[in-house]
Structure 1
Amino acid sequence: MTNVSGNNFTMNSSSLSAYQSLEEFRYYTVGVILTPISIFGILGNILSIFVLSCPEMKSNFNQLLICLASFDLVYLQLSFAIFAMPTLSVWYTETLFPYIMPIGVTIERFVAIAYPMRKTNLKNSLIMASVFGSIVYNLPRFFELEMVQVDVLDPETKANVTVNRIAPTELRFNKLYVQIYVVWMKFFLVELLPYVIICVLNFVMIVKIREAMKLQKEMTISRQPSLESQKKEFNMALVLVCIVFMFIACQSIKIIPDVYEAMVCDYSKTDTSCESTTTIERIVSISYVLLALNSASNFVIYMLRGNKFRRVLSRKLCQFFGYKPSSQFDSPRIGNSDSQSHHTRHNVIALTTTATTEMGHTPVQPHRSLIKFHSTRHESPIQMV
């Protein structure tokens, strides 16, 4: 009997070749493929936290993204360490926070899109609720495993040696605990409920975005500041939609082994184990890779959708390595610099009082004022975002 990683059931190998084929599949999925994904995700989430923490990126939405990146970073570090050290049990690969934080980010964006006139600051409450809920729900996990000493045969000396192993406790084999907490609570609270909340709220946001974009075409130029503010909110909602799409795509496959365990395994019997299949085992291995991919993908989304995110990241990296930031990441040129860079000229520009921009989107423009200044060089001292 071969223990199934991450689930409370065992598998009968029909033949040695089938078992070896499964082990080879695990090696390439949770070893070769997962390792570079985890490393990339760790670096990407560190950079995301660094950029989103900058003063010019400060906003409620970005603060929630910092928390999401922090939890993804913790999961990727644990996932990488666990799969890199085969003596540790892969039951530790259960993720802690990424289930709840996407819900918090979705609620914050839902309020901003569906109720734009309500100045409700949900950042602190959403973060605290996510952290507290995750800790409370996962407390029993710390009592499922224990360190035990077992005697194994040393292949070199042909003698028995005592080694430390991580093994499940009696709590993990308790029929009532497995039925209620491991199977059904996990299925409803961790898998089903987050999907329903995220899908419903994002559907409402998409409908609101389509209605607002249609209304935007009918608005006059006098309402331009309000339209620009709404456009910024909608662009952030599109970033969230990308995050949610990756969340659903990567997290869905892991439901299959849980549903299989809930439907097939009979925990009313004394023997709390049940038989798995090679297909289920392969799905479990693939789910580990997809969970790591989900935690590593947000950095790519920020780079693709966030103009200001790319600009701030490029400027910070240039400063870190001692290079002067390019003008396109710092102060863009005004006018034809090739023909006017060595001549004194008078420039009259509209200096716009802007609100803090988020993720590189169009700033809010509440009023304008005209300012004259003398320019003797081709680079403007004013930041034009």
Structure 2
Amino acid sequence: MYTFSLLDYFHFMVEGVLLIMVGTLGIIGNTLCIIWFSRKQVQKGFHYLMLCLAVFDTIYVSLVILLFGVPSVYDRIMLVPWFNQIYPALLPFAQIGLSGSIYMTLAVAIERYTTVCHPFFKLSHSWSASFYIFPIILFSVLFNIPKFYEHVAETEITTVLDPFSNPVNITVTLIKPTPLRENEVYVRIYLVLLNLLVHGIIPLFILTILNIIVYREINDISRRETTSAYIHHKEIKLAQVSLVIVAVFLTCHSVRWIPNIWEFMKTKEDPTDETPDWPTWIACITSVSHLLTVFSSSVNFYIYCFKHGSI
């Protein structure tokens, strides 16, 4: 008989119940964000970036709920053939949504940085939002193309015993890793190292620096008690929204890299161990990190409304 361990309960509550609740509110908020910014009469680059960020966040949150949240609450869905068939196809799209969310957040921070800290540069160059949006979409898709070849759904015939102890053949669909996913070089370079750099160290470092610079600039403007003729007061308010969004992003996504760093150090310590056993605390942090990334992708419009809903 199966026993429900403490770790199972933690996984059920954090990556199941809480993730679905937060994600559902996030989908509602992101949908309102898309409607709100698409209907704004005066569109700024910031508004277009927030709209696209909401699209990527909606893709990511919806798929995480389906692929991780629902199985955590109702694990028997993993025995349903159609679910296992779509799982390998949808998982890469969740990664595309995550990549787009990360770099669209970076684009929002850069746009606010140029507006507040270098207004003359912003006026002289007049970059449209498409300058950020199209490269991010292209990069998010191209970087995650290998993800489509990591898992495959295979149908197998297995024998089980019926209630009368008679053998019965049944057809089951299982999700299995491809040879690419089991390749040691691919795992270490692409899944661990490149993923850590592209989705972790580089964007987190840049976002941290930009947030510090913009925060200091806004404080300097406040101390002078005057706003430059080239920086409208509403631009400062939008920059404050960006500061909070980026701060939440940095806090939530920092936790996500603890398991990756642990895995990288473990494989570096023992290159022959392709699948190191994860300790309980890493398993718990992994569940928390999934919840936090969903939270980060769910609160942007609520932050916007709470701080400056009248913009």
Seq. identity, %:
27
- Normalising to structure 2: TM-score of the pair? 0.85
TM-superposed deviation, 1:172: 0.6
TM-superposed deviation, 1:306: 2.0
TM-superposed deviation, 1:216: 3.3
Which structure 2 residues correspond to residues 113-262 of structure 1 after superposition, within 5 A? 113-118=116-121, 119=123, 120-152=126-158, 154=160, 156=162, 159-217=168-226, 226=229, 229-262=231-264
Among candidates 59, 63, 74, match of residue 74 of structure 1: 59
Amino acid at match of 1:66: L
Unaligned stretches of 5+ residues in structure 2: 72-76, 79-83
Indicate conservation of the 8 Å contact 2:99/2:199, yes or no. Answer: no
CA distance in 1, matches of 2:101, 2:37: 18
TM-superposed deviation, 1:248: 0.8
TM-superposed deviation, 1:122: 4.0
Structure ID, larger Rg: 1
Amino acid at match of 1:101: M
TM-superposed deviation, 1:31: 1.4
1:150-194, Cα deviation, whole Å (9 max, x unpaired): 344546455342211121111011111111101100111110000
Counterpart for residue 70 of structure 2? 84
SS in 1 for 2:156: strand
CA distance in 2, matches of 1:67, 1:146: 30
TM-superposed deviation, 1:147: 1.1
Counterpart for residue 113 of structure 2? 110
Greater helix proportion? 2
Amino acid at match of 2:152: E
Indicate conservation of the 8 Å contact 2:100/2:137, yes or no. Answer: yes
How many residues were matched structurally?
Answer: 285
Indicate conservation of the 8 Å contact 2:237/2:308, yes or no. Answer: no
SS in 2 for 1:163: strand
CA distance in 2, matches of 1:151, 1:281: 32
Unaligned stretches of 5+ residues in structure 1: 1-15, 309-359, 361-385
TM-superposed deviation, 1:249: 1.2
TM-superposed deviation, 1:272: 1.9
TM-superposed deviation, 1:201: 1.2
Which structure 2 residues correspond to residues 8-87 of structure 1 after superposition, within 5 A? 20-82=5-67, 83-85=69-71, 86-87=77-78
Matched, 1:98 2:120: no
Amino acid at match of 1:62: H
Amino acid at match of 1:59: K
SS in 2 for 1:276: coil
Indicate conservation of the 8 Å contact 1:38/1:292, yes or no. Answer: yes
Describe the shift of the 1:152–1:289 C-alpha distance in structure 2 as closer, same or farther (beyond 3 A): farther
Describe the shift of the 1:190–1:216 C-alpha distance in structure 2 as closer, same or farther (beyond 3 A): same
CA distance in 1, matches of 2:44, 2:284: 42
Indicate conservation of the 8 Å contact 1:108/1:122, yes or no. Answer: no
CA distance in 2, matches of 1:206, 1:172: 42
Indicate conservation of the 8 Å contact 1:100/1:194, yes or no. Answer: yes
CA distance in 1, matches of 2:138, 2:112: 21
- Normalising to structure 1: TM-score of the pair? 0.69
Indicate conservation of the 8 Å contact 1:250/1:287, yes or no. Answer: yes
Amino acid at match of 1:255: W
